[in-house]
Amino acid sequence: MASKYHSSDRASLKLGQVNFYEGRNFQGQRYECSSDCADLHSYISSCNSIRVESGCWVVYERPNYMGYQYVLTRGEYPDYQHWMGFNDNIRSCRTFSYASGASYRMRIYERPDFGGQMMEFMDDCPSVYDRFRYRDIHSCHVMDGYWIFYEHPNYRGRQYFMRPGEYRRYSDWGAIVATVGSFRRVVDV
């Protein structure tokens, strides 16, 4: 495939570039995106494959950054199972960036409003229960870096993208239950 970027487009690659395809294996109607988009449905009717050319992206199942969310880094996702999707509904997306060599630091709490037992993390955690002894996290303070919470251990299930900030209740990060099985840092690849 010939390069589809002109020299003037190289600046957008530094900020983030993603291609959404209606068909699996990068077939069918394509929409190229280089910034946040609250409603992709006006550009494509479904999304069965994604190619992240550059940057890091959070894609959402519903418009206006709602519903299931998936964090994608540079690479190819030939069908929705490759980004752990449940179906071909991708309706909005956001790009984010961070400095290379970023530091990571986060505190999780067993109760809302930063109450109860607390544990600080600076690395990935494949099993929250094994390390924290609680299955539920009711609040969280992300001091440094970007993180992904997963519903189940070993980085499986529903995902929640965590930016630096205070999350006083699990609903603040978009969850409907407090269960977090694992989490990991979003690192530049």
Give me the amino acid identity at 145: G
Domains and CATH numbers, the chain: 9-96 (2.60.20.10), 105-185 (2.60.20.10)
Rounded distance between C-alpha atoms, residue 25 and residue 82, angstroms: 11
Beta strands in the chain (DSSP E): 17-21, 30-33, 49-54, 56-62, 66-72, 75-77, 92-96, 105-111, 115-121, 139-144, 147-152, 156-162, 165-167, 182-185
Q: Per-residue confidence of the chain (189 residues) as pLDDT tens digits?
A: 333 333 333 333 446 899 999 999 999 999 999 999 999 999 999 999 999 998 889 999 999 998 889 999 899 999 998 998 888 899 999 998 765 667 999 999 999 999 999 999 999 999 999 999 998 999 999 999 999 999 999 999 889 999 999 999 999 998 999 999 999 998 864
Collect all residues with Cβ–Cβ distance below 8 Å to 1 and sequence separation of at least 6. Answer: none
DSSP character at residue 12: H
Place of tokens 């970027």: 5
- Residue 14 phi, psi (nearest 5): -70, -35
Rounded distance between C-alpha atoms, residue 45 and residue 90, angstroms: 9
Prediction pTM value: 0.77
- In this prediction, residue 86 carries a pLDDT of 83
Give me the amino acid identity at 143: M
103 touches 53 (CB < 8 A) = no
- In this prediction, residue 85 carries a pLDDT of 85
121 touches 168 (CB < 8 A) = no
